[in-house]
Structure 1
Amino acid sequence: MMNLYDELVMRGMVKDVSHLEQAKVLINGKGVKFYVGYDPTGESLTVGHLVQIVRMKYLQKHGHIPVVLIGGATGLIGDPKETSERKLLTLEQSLLNAKKIETQIKGLLDGNAIFVNNYDWISKIDLISFLRDYGKYFNVSYMLNKETVQKRLDIGISYTEFSYMILQSIDWLNLYQTIDCKIQFGGSDQWGNITAGLELIRKVVGENDAVGLSSPLLLKADGTKFGKSESGALWLDKTLTSPYEMYQYFLNSSDHDIKNFLNLLTTLERTEIDALIDASLKEPELRIAQKRLAEEVVLFVHGKDELNRAKKVTEALFSGDFNQLDEASFEVLGKVLDRVEVTNDGIIEVLVRSRLAKSNREAREFIQSGAVYLQGEKISDLEYKVLQTEKAFGQYAILRRGKKKYVLVVFK
């Protein structure tokens, strides 16, 4: 039977390891605290953050204890980007974002997860103490050799962002000393910060059993960044990205990406993943693995009700039958479909305003050829007033031209 460390490797969850044998001992044991940090640079995390969150969930499922560090302090400094300095957040905004992200992650992990905010300890360090107690352990040559710093040397990097790795190192030292947190996980872009933390623990504590691990950044098979849709980032906050949009994103995953996504974005065991891939290879047109991926991710992030709603909206748009949708589903349609607000307008005017017809003449032709439906009823009267139609929840109707051209009509 494969042990947990080998399982992580096989799933593609491990790239760099600081101390291999110690990592195996800790991960193959039980009840070890491990931490992942999140800076509150925005009000919501994106699906790109799911890799680390799902790994926390997976390790939690196998008996370990996640420590979620929200960077209320480090978010004020900014982890160096490859291209330019980050725009500085205000303290108020950083702490507000931190609270929202903490709430978001709390809904995704089981009850024994520990949540901390590094503002609680970093804000108490005065400048002289920072330089004497921590700065003296960091050699400038060592810091300059870090990849994140190297990439910024040509265009310049402020001392503020240059010092970020010191703050992240203080975080791990604090967690190691106060709650016996032995492991730090992060994306491969965090490896320089992770190893800097290990160095600080070694210099302050001496011999220790701390271990750092990184995971590969998740890219699509074509090399493009995971988690970006045509409309931009996909957020975990459903007010920014609807569960339906998230469902569609994963439903449309390519066959080249699907196994990797199932390994990294779900807690399904590999035997089940292998069975899904085999079934998909036999009947690729059914997109069995893609459907399961979309279901698992939306269920994990948004819960059963939102998953069912996303599936019903998907089915309605495929079948043309919108009669089974609840009111919240029509609100989802309002984000997915073009919408037109009406009072007692004529059908020809609504077709033109909704861009289902380019002109009054074309609208008349569509009606006369039997191509126009409102709430599933064929419209043949050129003088038809849309207010006459039966409305869903007193305010919605679906206008269809042909088989698949839909617009949501909203009655004012």
Structure 2
Amino acid sequence: MDLLQDLAWRGIIYQQTDEEGLIDVLNTDHISLYCGVDPTADSMHIGHLLPFLTLRRFQQQGHRPIVLVGGATGLIGDPSGKSEERKLLTLDTVQQNVEGIKKQLQSIFEFEGENGAIMVNNYDWAGSMDVVTFLRDIGKHIGVNYMLAKDTIASRLDTGISFTEFTYTILQAMDFLHLFENHKCKLQIGGSDQWGNITSGLELIRKIHPENSKAFGLTIPLVTKADGTKFGKTESGAVWLDPEKTTPYEFYQFWINTADADVVKYLKIFTFLSHEEIEQLEKAVEEEPHLRKAQKVLAEEMTRLIHGEAALEQAIKISAALFSGDVKSLSAGEIKQGFKDVPSFDVNADFDGNLVDLIVSAKISPSKRQAREDITNGAISINGEKVTDSNYVLGDADKIEGQFTIIRRGKKKYTLIKY
């Protein structure tokens, strides 16, 4: 099975500009191809992953990926999927975002070797271009009627679109042209919402290089969940690649909580497991869904890819501790990850360690009477161990690395005590 057949089996291909032509080129030689991301934030989220993981699949087959971070286009704003103008970011903010995203992309690609990835920033060639050069050398080749036919622009005509966002597709077309001319780039990959921008690039290449314009576009379908809800969102918001925004434990938990109806699809499109391995896991979902083997493999593969082996092991350790209740085995750093979103309470410097007073102050129990009952009835645990003495006084041994105590009421109600 060749590369494009593999992509089709995985459900990754949505649209292609010239399937037969691309097959011929891929069968003839190794090519350079690119995918880009605009630095609208200082981190990517998992919604950005699929096009870049697809780019990596090409790299594994000997092709050279070009990873573009849009320092210039990020200053303009892509109208795709928007009903109103984006808020413009400052140059300083965009440059800071560029640096954050570069670090994340470096974990996905190999940058050494014969087909080592190349990372580029379109601000390097677009940022210094004067408006007259842009209008004469680029704008002259893109017709207004051609632009108005683009869905991203046509959908905004009633509500309004600025000239700035109107020209976004030309800037992205200029990226494809620049990479075609300077890096022999033959293919652009993007999400399905990028079809109009990709074809604009092909049009510009065709106009400027009519005798040698063999270039291609390929888009990837929007990732959806079987229940119709949006992929990549949790109750607390987006699932970021930055470990400061979404901890490796939270990242791991997102994938391990994947529904049975979605897990095989995600294994196909997000992981680099073989067809045979995925088919075995699909069988496990059908025959032993309670073991959640497929979800565990998905979570491990994705966490290892983005955060590394050490972070994966830590995420598994936190998950096991929370499942068993043995939280005293966790370090302070692991507690920060695992209990990031649970209720917390900061004790005063004059706290005398009285457990009943602490439970009431932290609103774990509504009154001292109830607190005493909860303790004597065995409903209160400190760092995973039940306490039944209503006169219990917390000491240094109850403070994990002197920073935290974890109090649990019942089976699931955790409170993080901070010192």
Smaller-chain TM-score bracket: over 0.9
Shift of 1:254: 1.0
Match of 1:223 in 2: 228
TM normalised by structure 1 equals 0.96
Is structure 2 residue 154 aligned with structure 1 residue 154?
A: no
- Say if 1:340 and 1:350, in contact at 8 Å, map to a contact too: no
Structure 2 residue 326 is matched with structure 1 residue 321: yes
Counterpart of 1:52 in structure 2 is 51
Q: Distance in 2 between matches of 1:373 and 1:57?
A: 47
Is the Cα contact below 8 Å between 2:12 and 2:221 reproduced in 1? yes
8 Å Cα contact 1:375-1:389 kept in structure 2: no
| Among 386, 391, 416, the residue aligned to 1:408 | 416
Structure 1 stretch displaced more, 284-293 or 215-224: 215-224
Measure how far apart 1:168 and its partner are. 0.4
Q: CA deviation at 1:275?
A: 0.9
- Code of the residue aligned with 1:39 in structure 2: it is D
State the Cα distance separating 1:384 from its structure 2 match. Answer: 2.3
- Give matches, 1:275-286, under 5 Å: 275-286=280-291
What RMSD over aligned residues (CA atoms) do the two structures have, in Å? 1.5
Deviation at 1:269?
A: 1.7
Query: Deviation digits for residues 307-348 of structure 1, max 9, x if unmatched?
Result: 111111111111011243233212213414322222434212
Which AA in structure 1 matches 2:175?
A: D
Match of 1:6 in 2: 5
Normalising by the residue count of structure 2, what TM-score does the alignment of the two structures yield?
0.94
The corresponding residue for 2:354 is 346
CA distance in 1, matches of 2:417, 2:397: 11
Give how far 1:389 is off.
Answer: 4.2
**Residues 127-136 or 192-201, more deviating:** 127-136
1:187 matched to 2:226: no
**Per-residue CA distance 1:350-401 (angstroms, 9 max, x = gap):** 2223332122222121012122121344323323222364332222222122
Q: Amino acid of the residue matched to residue 344 of structure 2?
A: R
The aligned residue for residue 117 of structure 2 is 113
Paired residue for 1:335?
340
Q: Report the CA distance between 1:26 and its aligned residue.
A: 3.2
Q: Residue 399 of structure 2 corresponds to which residue in structure 1?
A: 391
Alignment of 1:138-153 (within 5 A): 138-153=142-157
Calculate percent identity across the aligned residue pairs: 46
Whether contact under 8 Å (1:351, 1:357) holds in the other structure is yes
**CA distance in structure 1 between the aligned counterparts of 2:318 and 2:396, rounded to whole angstroms:** 25
Measured in 1, the distance between the counterparts of 2:331 and 2:30 equals: 44
Say if 2:359 and 2:371, in contact at 8 Å, map to a contact too: yes
Q: Which amino acid aligns with 2:88?
A: L
Paired with 1:226 and 1:376, the residues of 2 have a C-alpha distance of 34
CA drift of 1:30 comes to: 5.2
Unaligned runs of 5+ residues in structure 1 are: none
> In the alignment, which residue of structure 1 is the partner of 2:363?
355
For 1:54-203, list aligned pairs within 5 A.
54-80=53-79, 81-111=81-111, 112-203=116-207
1:204 corresponds in structure 2 to: 208
Q: Indicate which of 266, 279, 292 corresponds to 1:261.
A: 266
| CA shift digits 1:81-102 (9 cap, x unpaired) | 4221100011111112112111
Structure 1 runs (4+) greater than 6 angstroms displaced: none
Aligned to 1:289, the other structure's residue is in SS state helix
Take 1:124 and 1:27, find their aligned partners in 2: how far apart are those partners?
35
**Contact 1:247 / 1:294 at 8 angstroms: preserved in 2?**
yes
Q: CA 1:256–1:129 in structure 2 vs 1: closer, same or farther (change >3 Å)?
A: same
Cα 1:28/1:380, change in 2 over 3 Å: same
User: How far apart are residue 28 of structure 1 and its match?
Assistant: 4.2
CA distance in 2, matches of 1:353, 1:240: 30
Aligned 8 A contact 2:318 2:334 in 1: yes
Asked if 2 retains the 8 angstrom alpha-carbon contact of 1:371 and 1:401, the reply is yes
Contact 1:244–1:310, Cα closer than 8 Å, also in 2: yes
Which consecutive unaligned segments of at least 5 residues does structure 2 have? none
Is 2:250–2:337's contact at 8 Å kept on the other side of the alignment?
no
AA at the equivalent of 2:90: T
For residues 283-298 of structure 1, what are the structure 2 equivalents within 5 Å?
283-298=288-303
Deviation at 1:20, TM superposition (A): 1.1
- Secondary structure of the equivalent of 1:184? strand
Shift of residue 125 of structure 1? 1.6
1:8·1:14 contact (CA, 8 Å) conserved in 2?
A: yes
Taking a change above 3 Å as real, the CA distance of residues 368 and 253 of structure 1, as seen in their structure-2 partners, is same
Kindly indicate whether residue 314 of structure 2 is the aligned counterpart of residue 306 of structure 1: no
Letter of the structure 2 residue corresponding to residue 86 of structure 1: R
Assess if the C-alpha contact under 8 Å between 2:328 and 2:384 holds in 1.
Answer: no
Q: How many residues align?
A: 410
